[in-house]
Amino acid sequence: MTAKLLDGTAVAKAIKEEVASEISRLAGRGLRPGLAAVLAGSDPASQIYVSNKVKACEQLGLYSEKIELPDTISTGELLDLVRDLNSRDEIDGILIQLPLPKQVDTPLVLNSVDPAKDVDGFHPVNIGRLTLNEPGLRACTPAGIIEMLDRYQIELKGARAVVMGRSRIVGLPIALLLLHRHATVTICHSRTVDLPAVAREADILIAAIGKLGMVDANYIKPGAVVIDVGTNRVTDRESLERFFGDDPKRRAAFEKNGSTLIGDVNPREAAEVAGYLTPVPGGVGPLTIAMLMKNTLTAMKMRRAAE
């Protein structure tokens, strides 16, 4: 068996095209969704993420503001900024790029965002609405996973789903989204007894546990759908050989960069057991920005009652 790859890049492209088309339609009525991206500090990865999000806004026709702040910013100053963004009608979505500087009270800042503008879906109000299956903004990565499963016509109703990880960013919301689609859901974590045996029960296995290549063939039911949410790096040749064998593309990337990306799943073993598998990179990752764009559009339509 060789697993069929779920192409997140293609799905993200389709979502973006749909969002751009809807934005173009609403522009005729004088409506344009707006996103404010707040970046505090000089973390290189965060700078890349925010730049990519602003670039996507430009490509799709959203209004965007990139607000760069020094790493000396205080909690009070950030709260003042969020309060101002909450009050601005042209801003439909507020993105607070994490991590924030260590002196900032991150939960307090995130919880100060107007839930109607919380395009990350992290606010307790939106998590509560998700729990009750009420309309609201959903976390981008979990929502993107559901979009991908739907577009590949993978049946969720009645499926056994196992979610490895319980963060409010991925694990908890994807478990709730699957539950609301009538899957039977088990949430696993670091204290789960005999984790491989529980994982092998899954028709749909979501790996979001943050451990490089942990999920091998022993975790996977033959024919299962395996969604790899992890982002890690292989930095030694022994691991390169173990996870990728003689894959020429991976070896070339390793030689060029001194590392190569991998998720929480052992791709070499999973490909021999799973029915479907998301690659890393090119699987779940591209969906997150696409769903951020879709969430900003949704936030605008909900706030302004636009159809």
The rounded distance, in Å, linking the Cα atoms of 282 and 210 is 17
- Intra-chain end-to-end CA distance of the chain, in Å: 46
Which two three-digit tokens encode residue 68? Answer: 């760069």
> Catalytic site residue 53?
yes
List residues bridging with 191 in a β-sheet.
Answer: none
- Return the residue matching tokens 């990337």: 253
Residue 9 and residue 285 in contact, taking contact as beta carbons nearer than 8 Å: no
Catalytic residue of the set 16, 53, 117, 221: 53
> Catalytic site residue 264?
no
> Catalytic site residue 216?
no
Q: Reduce the DSSP state of residue 165 to 3 states and report it.
A: coil
Looking only at Cα atoms, what is the longest distance across the chain?
Answer: 58
Catalytic residue of the set 16, 92, 97, 294: 97
CB atoms within 10 A of CB 1: 10
List residues bridging with 234 in a β-sheet.
Answer: 260
Sequence-ordered strand ranges (E) for 198-254: 204-207, 225-228, 232-234
Catalytic residue of the set 92, 118, 120, 203: 120
Strand order across the beta sheet in which 93-96 lies: 63-69, 34-40, 93-96
Concatenate the DSSP letters of all residues of 39-77 into one string: EES--HHHHHHHHHHHHHHHHHT-EEEEEEE-TT--HHH
CB atoms within 10 A of CB 68: 13
User: Which residues are identified as catalytic?
Assistant: 53, 97, 120
